[in-house]
Structure 1
Amino acid sequence: MTKEELNSDRINYLVWRYLQESNYRETAVKLQSEWDVSDPQSLDFAPHVNNHALVAVLQRGLLYHEAERLSAQSRRGAVAAPPATGFFGPVAPLSPPLASSDEIANARKRSTEERSQQARQESPAKRTKLSNGYENGIDSTTTPMDLDEAAPPTAISNGHAYPSPREVEVERVPTPAPVTSGPEKGTQIEKVAELSAETTYLTLAQTSSTNHPILLHCEWNPRDPKRLATAGMDTLARLWTVPSRTPSPQIDGHVPSPAFRDLVDEDEHRAAISAISWTSDGEALAVASDCDGTGKINIWSKDGSRIVQFNSLGYPPVICLRWGASDRTLLALTSTDNKGASSWATVFTTPNQESATFDLGPNFQPLDAVWTGPSDFVVCNGESLSGFNLSDEGIITRTKTYDIRKEAGPTSLAYDPHCNLLAAANDDGVIDIFDSTATRVGMATHKGAVTSMKWQPIPNSSDDQPERLLASSSEDGSINIWNSRSDFKKPVETMTMDAAVLALAFTPDGAFVAATTNSHILIWSMADPSFPRARWVRGQEPGWQSPKTNGAALEEYHHCLVWDSDGKRLAYGVNSMLAVIKFIPGVTDVTVN
């Protein structure tokens, strides 16, 4: 005979789950820290534990304790037992005293005679038909949690020939409150899906042993879920056509890589592709390259044919490319060489191929930029934050300077046109929030440096939303969700991972958010981010080995994480490795190889 045993991990897990389910999440985080288990959901027994397990176990324990008390009383042959006392004091009787055997027999006889008389008076069509309750098929809406709900008073007389346990159950586990949007929100826990089996691995390195491209950028076409653009060092600029179904392995166990088209000229040997950017309609892709000190920008169609080329960009490389909302203006930032050359902000206009430039100065090292209007954009450099305008005459002017904190300067930007707010992340873990007048209106904080931040997409493009959410990740292992409609003093949700979070990404409809460390990816539902819905773990799969030089693994420079336009596949890449991970919302029974 085998039996389950309790140990410290199992007890801590039940308590941790209860705290999460009851929305005591800060307490749960503290317990997880003291417990020193990075991811409780990864424990081998975690997938087998049902919802609200701690309450169920305790309730059953109370029932067992009551059964022991009654058994002991029966063995003693007590006639008048003292009032029952449980763990929490005196226990009120659950039902009136049992009737004597004669009273029960008389009651049964009267009930039988009444039913016989009623049956003789009714026509056959009106007589109640005994059943097992499944004449209309199994009720698919019934969930395991329904077993814990109290049955109605008439449950035992519902005409079922075989009453279910819920019809005769005396004590039941109380059901937690349903999910609401307030601070007392309950949670629904689902099994975490393992996504490793639904992964396509793309080979970035060529057959040459000296070719080890470093992936710097990865972007899906915003309208076509099969087209994926990648760019990086060592002449890496490709437009992939990734089929929706995962290819079957070949005889040698390797999966054939999807077809791709190179987006570099034949004479650009060893070129570095420093930035890429799709237009919002997915019709064109801008690619910035640096080859032997010469910088240029090519604009390609979604099919891989060149549309136009811009040369003479000043001192390369191009730090970032940003298309304007109209898809007719392209902002490019070029950096200084630290030898007296200036950095430049250049706006290219298509299809007339005009350009306008602004000298940012020799001491201005641009890091990021965003468009904040049809002709307005903002640039940061780690020490300052400035706004610019492109006039109808094609002249760029500086229009505003943001009042940033002296402790640290902004290194990355995220703008939301729906609430007209600009988020500026700093290395000290603080995100400054500015309105359209360049006034700071909020500060969101992490304990570690901010690694990524994204505004939740709004599919219907409606500004009348009760919440405008900003997600931010940090080296401290946290993902915070902030609501710009309230304040930034405290996040409305916090998720944690076991290491520094290196990147995060929303699905295009904003329903799910993914985050990655250097070992695994977790996916949460924004409707209830209490627990991750899916997980993908880096392993030893073919094509997912870090390139090595002299036997030593290369440092991982940049982690790319981006969803396709359907929100069903996630591209994750680092160094010379790139994986396309299939995720189907609502499916949690993916088989792992």
Structure 2
Amino acid sequence: MALSSDELNFLIFRYLQESGFSHSAFTFGCESAVSSLAISGPDVPPGALVSFLQKGLQYLELESNLNEAGTDVDGDFRLLTPHDLLYKDVPELKRVVLARRAEARANDAAAASEKRASEKAAAMAAASGPAAGGDNDAGRNGDDNDAAAGGSGEPMAVDASQLTELRGHQQEVFICAWNPNQSLLASGSGDATARIWDLDKVSPSEDGTEQGVVLRHLAPSRAGNVQPSAASNSGGEKAKDVTTLDWNPTGTLLATGSYDGVARIWSASGSLVGTLAKHQGPIFSLKWNKRGDALLSGSVDRTAIVWDAASCTVKQSFEFHSAPTLDVDWRDDTMFATCSTDKTIHVCRLGLNRPLRTFTGHKDEVNAIKWDPSGRLLASCSDDKTAKVWDTDAGELLHDMREHKKEIYTLKWAPVAPLLATASFDATVKLWDVETGRCVRTLNQHRDAVYSVAFSPDGKLIASGSSPEGMLNIWEAQSGKLIKQYKGGGGIFDVSWDREGRRVAACFGEPKNVVAVVDMDVRM
């Protein structure tokens, strides 16, 4: 597809007219004979030439950020300036992108090193004596000051008898989830595998690696739902990160979502049951409904899809967001919520072609959403540093929580009490009384961004994990006291409690790439 010279001449003529260059337009129109061209002037939108040029620059920008295979965008569009796009060809632009990306990584590494050094110096100063003055975020809540700071006494370190390291993943482990009825733990990794570990049977292999059952994720043919066997990794299929996973309510099936845009359903023994390949971009979230007959997935392609779990077919596709869908959560078997980088939250129901509710109070990307145990309240958190609680029946904002100093990555409800936990890049976990909207406690013993938080099944304990610090903290929910700590290798991306609250799992990144399982000894 290309513009003809006559069409280009007409666009130039129109540009001169629209810009007020009437004499130049008259002269150019006479020389190019635009009046004799078979072009319908009223059908050409205003500013068409500028629009075409801008789209051309965007295409150059996109082409310059493609990976070597030309199949995926692999760059930061802010690395190129308009001057670059005007004066450099694509090969030179690719070199510019690579060089500036390397420079950005080096600057980030230097900044992180400086931050760690500063934090270490502050920690040493604090250890040598009480600090005078300063902004003590933990002291905002009056009588909760001691609890916010972790309580009195030192937390117990995890000893070797309480720790099991599940080794076998070759890259970062992003997510983990316990089976609701068995001692099975599922994990998903950047090595394009998920694994199912039986904690009652797992034992080290001869080389010291605990393998588990390996679920290989290889990109299927979009022509059909054909999944290569676990051994067929020689046919050129491109493996993709496993980004999300969830057990069905009975624990008989595991659903996984991948960066290749495909959801898969596996048996508890690791056999592939079905492949769900309708998304056109990475899947960031998927959840089973309460009955276990439907699966909900949210993707970068801006859609959410509800799947029939038995037939692995699409029940309904929801295309309400204008940007990537980051999280999804069921309220019941037919109603659910979705959130997006477009700053909105939609509450939807199967069978309806428009949202029941749309909430637009956030000022930046909405990272996570969670229904409370009653199904009446919906909590959300955002890069705008706020968490919000919505009354979905009334369709109104109930609480606007604004005490975090940086982006809030995730949040979790307590199983019973009206308590909400939020985890933030400001290195804190905050606990909120949802009846009043007040922050009742700040858990601030982490040194880096907190990516994960989870209540134990009885709601008495809270686990949180940070990155790149790699610290797993266990807290008493009522007092805020820090009772146990474990520092592993690499940052923690996810934490999960088993069904009895006896064990907590944490997913680690580089360099160890392990899942650490801590046995919660009641002698604490």
Q: TM-score range by the shorter chain?
A: 0.5 to 0.7
Paired amino acid for 2:502: K
Is the Cα–Cα contact under 8 Å of residues 213 and 236 in structure 1 kept in the other structure?
Answer: no
Paired amino acid for 2:519: F
* Secondary structure of the corresponding residue to residue 501 of structure 1: strand
* Secondary structure of the corresponding residue to residue 397 of structure 1: coil
Is the Cα–Cα contact under 8 Å of residues 389 and 398 in structure 1 kept in the other structure?
Answer: yes
| 1:578 counterpart = 2:519 | no
CA distance in 2, matches of 1:27, 1:290: 43
Shift of 1:24: 4.0
Is the Cα–Cα contact under 8 Å of residues 294 and 307 in structure 2 kept in the other structure?
Answer: yes
Deviation per CA, 1:542-576: give whole Å up to 9, x if none.
xx4x6xxxxxxxxx6x7121122222222212325
Aligned to 2:317: 358
Paired amino acid for 2:463: A
* Secondary structure of the corresponding residue to residue 280 of structure 2: coil
Alpha carbons of structure 1 residues 283 and 229: separation in structure 2 relative to 1, 3 Å: same
Shift of 1:328: 0.8
Shift of 1:365: 1.4
Superposition map of 1:443-458 within 5 A: 443-445=400-402, 446-458=404-416
Is the Cα–Cα contact under 8 Å of residues 408 and 424 in structure 2 kept in the other structure?
Answer: yes
Deviation per CA, 1:18-58: give whole Å up to 9, x if none.
x99x97444897xx8xxxxxxxx8xxxxxxxxxxxxxxxxx
Aligned to 2:487: 537
Aligned to 1:482: 432
CA distance in 2, matches of 1:305, 1:400: 39
Shift of 1:301: 1.5
Deviation per CA, 1:336-361: give whole Å up to 9, x if none.
3xxxxxx3221112324442333526
1:219 to 150, 174, 177: 177
Alpha carbons of structure 1 residues 10 and 409: separation in structure 2 relative to 1, 3 Å: closer
CA distance in 2, matches of 1:195, 1:368: 33
CA distance in 1, matches of 2:199, 2:270: 14
* Greater helix share, structure number: 2
2:441 to 482, 485, 493: 493
* Secondary structure of the corresponding residue to residue 367 of structure 2: strand
Alpha carbons of structure 1 residues 473 and 244: separation in structure 2 relative to 1, 3 Å: farther
Paired amino acid for 1:421: L
When structure 1 is superposed on structure 2, of 254-263 and 367-376 the one drifting more is: 254-263
Is the Cα–Cα contact under 8 Å of residues 333 and 345 in structure 1 kept in the other structure?
Answer: yes
Paired amino acid for 1:537: K
Shift of 1:536: 0.8
* Secondary structure of the corresponding residue to residue 200 of structure 1: strand
Deviation per CA, 1:237-290: give whole Å up to 9, x if none.
221222379x6898xxx8552533335433465421232111122111012345
Paired amino acid for 1:285: L
Aligned to 1:386: 346
Aligned to 2:354: 397
Aligned to 2:472: 521
| 1:271 counterpart = 2:239 | yes
Superposition map of 1:425-440 within 5 A: 425-436=381-392, 437-440=394-397
| 1:284 counterpart = 2:253 | yes
| 1:416 counterpart = 2:372 | yes
Alpha carbons of structure 1 residues 320 and 11: separation in structure 2 relative to 1, 3 Å: closer
Aligned to 2:497: 563
Paired amino acid for 2:166: L
Is the Cα–Cα contact under 8 Å of residues 218 and 562 in structure 1 kept in the other structure?
Answer: yes
* Secondary structure of the corresponding residue to residue 398 of structure 1: coil
Alpha carbons of structure 1 residues 501 and 378: separation in structure 2 relative to 1, 3 Å: same
CA distance in 2, matches of 1:562, 1:365: 26
CA distance in 1, matches of 2:216, 2:172: 16
Is the Cα–Cα contact under 8 Å of residues 496 and 504 in structure 2 kept in the other structure?
Answer: yes
Aligned to 1:468: 418
Paired amino acid for 1:216: F
Deviation per CA, 1:59-114: give whole Å up to 9, x if none.
xxxxxxxxxxxxxxxxxxxxxxxxxxxxxxxxxxxxxxxxxxxxxxxxxxxxxxxx
* Secondary structure of the corresponding residue to residue 429 of structure 1: coil
CA distance in 2, matches of 1:195, 1:583: 9
CA distance in 2, matches of 1:386, 1:244: 43
CA distance in 2, matches of 1:416, 1:303: 32
Paired amino acid for 1:235: A
Is the Cα–Cα contact under 8 Å of residues 168 and 209 in structure 2 kept in the other structure?
Answer: no
Aligned to 2:100: none
Q: Percent identity?
A: 21
Aligned to 1:119: none
Is the Cα–Cα contact under 8 Å of residues 426 and 449 in structure 1 kept in the other structure?
Answer: yes
Alpha carbons of structure 1 residues 585 and 493: separation in structure 2 relative to 1, 3 Å: farther
Alpha carbons of structure 1 residues 381 and 419: separation in structure 2 relative to 1, 3 Å: closer
Deviation per CA, 1:366-406: give whole Å up to 9, x if none.
11111123211111113211121102xxx55322211414x
Deviation per CA, 1:281-335: give whole Å up to 9, x if none.
21110123455xxx43321121222333333x13132221111111111111232
Paired amino acid for 2:457: P
Higher Cα radius of gyration: 1
Superposition map of 1:272-351 within 5 A: 272=240, 273-289=242-258, 291=260, 295-311=261-277, 313-336=278-301, 343-351=302-310
* Secondary structure of the corresponding residue to residue 454 of structure 1: strand
| 1:204 counterpart = 2:163 | no
2:327 to 368, 391, 403: 368
CA distance in 2, matches of 1:475, 1:329: 33
Shift of 1:213: 2.6
Superposition map of 1:16-35 within 5 A: 24-26=143-145
Is the Cα–Cα contact under 8 Å of residues 348 and 356 in structure 1 kept in the other structure?
Answer: yes
Alpha carbons of structure 1 residues 27 and 308: separation in structure 2 relative to 1, 3 Å: closer
| 1:259 counterpart = 2:223 | no
Paired amino acid for 1:507: S
TM-score by length of 1: 0.56
| 1:237 counterpart = 2:190 | no
CA distance in 1, matches of 2:332, 2:354: 15
CA distance in 1, matches of 2:415, 2:147: 29
Shift of 1:513: 0.3
TM-score by length of 2: 0.63
Superposition map of 1:24-173 within 5 A: 24-26=143-145
Deviation per CA, 1:190-234: give whole Å up to 9, x if none.
6522114222222234xxxxxx43322221212222x11112323
Alpha carbons of structure 1 residues 199 and 249: separation in structure 2 relative to 1, 3 Å: farther
Alpha carbons of structure 1 residues 507 and 263: separation in structure 2 relative to 1, 3 Å: farther
Paired amino acid for 2:349: N
Is the Cα–Cα contact under 8 Å of residues 506 and 516 in structure 2 kept in the other structure?
Answer: yes
